[in-house]
Structure 1
Amino acid sequence: MKTIFSTLFLVAFSVISYAQNRWETTKKTASENHELILLNFSGSDWCIPCIKLHKNIIETEDFKKLETDNIIVYLNADFPRNKKNQLSAELKKENAFIADRYNPKGIFPYTILLNSEGKILKSWEGLISADALAFSNEIRQIKQNQNP
């Protein structure tokens, strides 16, 4: 019985540690580079607004420039449904850990801008109505307001 309990405890701890390591790595990178974190929850193969958000904003040059200009660190927590698109067990657990913390209502898409400590600065529920340039400029403005 002790062996079973110990094994279950170690498995649970390793899952939590793995997810926290990814999150902590993201926060550390953001902190070291003085960047914000843009966290996006998506259903990449079933959520039409999520697909549109990625196509019309995330995959654009205006958005990608936020990353290359050290404005944001982008983190996507994806929850695909189709069998062919399934994530690894580790990545599923990692995304669930992040969702428990930042998206407990299960909103899709849900985009959150955070500081490097994980404090929410702004959030967007559903499809962002702005185009990629306007959205990127809004994030740049928030970043400028964060600097002393």
Structure 2
Amino acid sequence: MKKILFILLFTVFTSINGIAQGLTWHTNMDEAFDIAAKEEKPLMLFFTGSDWCGWCIKLQNEVFKTADFKKWAKDNVVLVELDYPKRTPQAQELKTQNYELQRMFNVRGYPTVFFANPQNMAEGKKNLNSLGSTGFVRGGAEKWLAVANNIIKK
């Protein structure tokens, strides 16, 4: 009886823990690129100032932390967070990667979300084909997801 109770509690805890963990936001672009290419999904690149940008925090709270977004993201995209914090320290390699991507996509404000298809080229080179971009959209997850779907379904 104790074994059955232990297995039941373990199963419940594991399920709750899996739900609480939510989504994987990659910070290494090479890893995210490879995953997206393998899964044949577009990348969702979230350019954010996580510790200072009010609209970025609002987008996270009203959209990215919702159950609707989590389900949609798992089914449709590979998530990449490209952060430009003011107070949170970052490794130099991460800063360099993020600023190169910011220049590449010509990001001028935060939050900006770009969707791009990964493409492996000859000689091991990688290419990102931009599908479009958005930022904060008023109306919560439903409205934001409608915009995102229009971009990735083109």
TM-score (norm 1): 0.69
Asked if 1:124 is matched to 2:134, the reply is: yes
The 5 Å alignment of 1:70-109 reads 71-82=76-87, 85-103=88-106, 105-109=107-111
RMSD: 2.0
Matches of 1:141 and 1:124 in 2, distance apart? 11
TM-score (norm 2): 0.67
**Matched residues, number:** 119
Shift of 1:129: 2.3
Residues 60-112 of structure 1: per-residue CA shift (max 9 Å, x gap): 1111112322x100111111112xx2222222122112212113x53111111
Residues 24-52 of structure 1: per-residue CA shift (max 9 Å, x gap): 33222112112111111111111111110
Higher relative contact order (CA 8 A, sep 6+): 1
Change in Cα spacing, 1:109 to 1:119, as seen in structure 2 (3 Å) is same
Which runs of 5 or more structure 1 residues have no equivalent in the other structure?
1-21
Q: Percent identity?
A: 27
SS at match of 1:119: strand
Which runs of 5 or more structure 2 residues have no equivalent in the other structure?
1-27, 120-127
Pick the structure with greater CA Rg. Answer: 2
Shift of 1:141: 5.0
